[in-house]
Amino acid sequence: MPSLGRLHLITDTRAGRDPLAVLRAVLPVAHTQLVVQVRVEDSATDRQAYELTRQVLALGAPYGVPCLVNDRLHVALATGAAGGHVGADDLPVAAAREVLGPAAVLGATAREPATALAAVTAGASYLGVGPCRATATKDGLPPPIGVAGLRAVVEAVEVPVIAIGGVTAADVPELRAAGAYGVAVVGALSGAADPARAAAELVRALT
């Protein structure tokens, strides 16, 4: 399996956002470290998820940027994406691994060491761990686990840990010091006045 990028851009498909414009801006400056995770609103149709994934794949291909699909693993398979990401409300990790096959990248959400270890045992190739900070991007999250919570997970597993939830470039040194391999962001890029510049700052902090 090729090495995982350290900057995971999660698509922002909320009203008023333009995930493909953000991706076009970010690709030239971040492609060496970039992974794109296609995440659509729960209300989106599979067809919408499929079309967005195809567009992301087309934009990322010249740069060799891998694309993962959140939740909807059939969309990952149908589009030839590199893999997927699952959490507590999605297919169990072992089932997701069965669906995607042994070569795919499979991320799983974990918030504490026990579930992290279980996810890795079941076949996760990386973990998304958070929320590290408070975030308005997603409703219904538990309280932030902070840097200490992230470190506890890092110490329990041997796969890359991707910190998520309210992460900005300013947080990266502390998260990396705690053992995070990389970060996953929505707002830090999608909400930036200049996404290319924000991506460059994130990559500089991560590498």
Do the annotations mark residue 39 as ligand-binding? yes
Q: Which is nearer to ligand 3NM, 2 or 7 (CB)?
A: 7
Q: Which stretch binds ligand LCLJCK34 (CB under 6 A): 85-93, 113-121, 145-153, 166-174?
A: 85-93
- Looking at 34, 184, 199, 203, which residue binds ligand LCLJCK34 (CB under 6 A)? 184
145 touches ligand LCLJCK34 by CB under 6 A: no
The candidate with the shortest Cα–Cα distance to 130, out of 160, 150, 113, 152, is 150
The candidate with the shortest Cα–Cα distance to 184, out of 40, 68, 58, is 68
In the range 115-144, which residues lie near ligand LCLJCK34 by CB under 6 A?
Answer: 128, 138
135 within 8 A of 165, measured Cβ to Cβ: yes
112 touches ligand LCLJCK34 by CB under 6 A: no
Do the annotations mark residue 137 as ligand-binding? yes
87 touches ligand LCLJCK34 by CB under 6 A: yes
Determine the Cα–Cα distance for residues 48 and 166; give it in Å rounded to an integer.
Answer: 26
Determine the Cα–Cα distance for residues 168 and 201; give it in Å rounded to an integer.
Answer: 9
DSSP classification of residue 82: S
In the range 77-96, which residues lie near ligand 3NM by CB under 6 A?
Answer: none
Determine the Cα–Cα distance for residues 108 and 180; give it in Å rounded to an integer.
Answer: 15
Determine the Cα–Cα distance for residues 172 and 116; give it in Å rounded to an integer.
Answer: 21
Determine the Cα–Cα distance for residues 192 and 146; give it in Å rounded to an integer.
Answer: 23
Determine the Cα–Cα distance for residues 206 and 56; give it in Å rounded to an integer.
Answer: 23
90 touches ligand LCLJCK34 by CB under 6 A: yes
183 within 8 A of 8, measured Cβ to Cβ: yes
Do the annotations mark residue 37 as ligand-binding? yes
* Binding flags for ligand 3NM, 172-191, as an x/- string (CB under 6 A): -------------xxxx---
Interacting residues toward ligand 3NM by CB under 6 A: 109, 130-131, 135, 137-138, 141, 164-167, 185-188
Interface with ligand LCLJCK34 (CB under 6 A): 8, 37, 39, 70-71, 85-88, 90, 107, 109, 128, 138, 162, 164, 184
